[in-house]
Amino acid sequence: MRVLVTGGAGYIGSVVAAQLLAAGHEVTILDDLSTGHSDAVPQGAHFVKGTLRDCVAEVLADGADAVVHLAAKSLVGESMADPSKYWSGNLGTTLTLLEAMRVIGVRSIVFSSTAAVYGEPERTPVLETDPLRPTSPYGGSKTAIDTTLTEFARLFGLAPVSLRYFNVAGAHHVAGEGGGWLGERHHPETHLIPNTLAAATQGRPLNVFGTDYPTPDGTCVRDYIHVTDVADAHLRALDACEPGRHRIYNLGSQAGFSVREVIEVCRDVTGLDVAVTEAARRPGDPAVLVASSERIKAELGWTPTRDLRAMAADAWQFTQAQARAQADRAAAEGPGQSNAAAEGPGQSNAAAEGPGQSNAAAGGPGQSNAAAEGPGQSNAAAEGPGQSNAAAEGPGQSNAAAEGPGKTNAASEAGPSPKAPGPATS
Ligand X SMILES: NC(=O)c1ccc[n+]([C@@H]2O[C@H](COP(=O)([O-])OP(=O)(O)OC[C@H]3O[C@@H](n4cnc5c(N)ncnc54)[C@H](O)[C@@H]3O)[C@@H](O)[C@H]2O)c1
The answer to whether 125 contacts ligand X (rule: CB under 6 A) is no
Among residues 36, 194, 304, 363, the one that binds ligand X under rule CB under 6 A: 36
Burial class (CB in 10 A: 0-12, 13-18, 19+), 223: buried
Q: Which is nearer to ligand X, 190 or 305 (CB)?
A: 190
The answer to whether 33 contacts ligand X (rule: CB under 6 A) is yes
Among residues 3, 4, 5, 12, the one that binds ligand X under rule CB under 6 A: 12
Q: Which of residues 83-122 bind ligand X (CB under 6 A)?
A: 89, 93, 112, 114
Comparing CA positions, the residue from 142, 147, 121 lying closest to residue 133 is: 121
The full DSSP string for 67-111 is: EEE------HHHHHH-HHHHIIIIIIHHHHHHHHHHHHT--EEEE
119-123, Cβ contacts within 8 angstroms, sequence gap of 24 or more: 119/284, 119/286, 120/284, 120/286, 121/286, 121/289
Burial class (CB in 10 A: 0-12, 13-18, 19+), 301: exposed
CA 145 to chain CA mean position, Å:
18
* Count of residues in contact with ligand X, rule CB under 6 A: 28
The answer to whether 70 contacts ligand X (rule: CB under 6 A) is yes
Question: Residues 227, 168: contact at Cβ < 8 Å?
Answer: yes
CA 46 to chain CA mean position, Å:
20
The answer to whether 318 contacts ligand X (rule: CB under 6 A) is no
Q: How far is CA 84 from CA 73, 88, 136, 179, in A?
A: 11, 6, 12, 38
The answer to whether 9 contacts ligand X (rule: CB under 6 A) is yes
Q: Which of residues 186-205 bind ligand X (CB under 6 A)?
A: 186
Residue in 11, 86, 118, 138 annotated catalytic: 138
Question: Residues 341, 204: contact at Cβ < 8 Å?
Answer: no
Q: Which stretch binds ligand X (CB under 6 A): 24-32, 267-275, 295-303, 366-374?
A: 24-32
Among residues 52, 231, 263, 288, the one that binds ligand X under rule CB under 6 A: 52
The answer to whether 11 contacts ligand X (rule: CB under 6 A) is yes
Q: Which stretch binds ligand X (CB under 6 A): 27-35, 275-283, 311-319, 377-385?
A: 27-35
Q: Which is nearer to ligand X, 96 or 417 (CB)?
A: 96
Residue 138 annotated in active site: yes
Amino acid residing at 311: M
Q: Which of residues 158-177 bind ligand X (CB under 6 A)?
A: 165, 167-168
The answer to whether 71 contacts ligand X (rule: CB under 6 A) is yes
What is the nearest approach in angstroms of ligand X to the Cβ of residue 234?
A: 11
Contacting positions for ligand X (CB under 6 A):
6-7, 9-13, 30-36, 51-52, 70-72, 74, 89, 93, 112, 114, 165, 167-168, 186
Residues designated as active site: 138
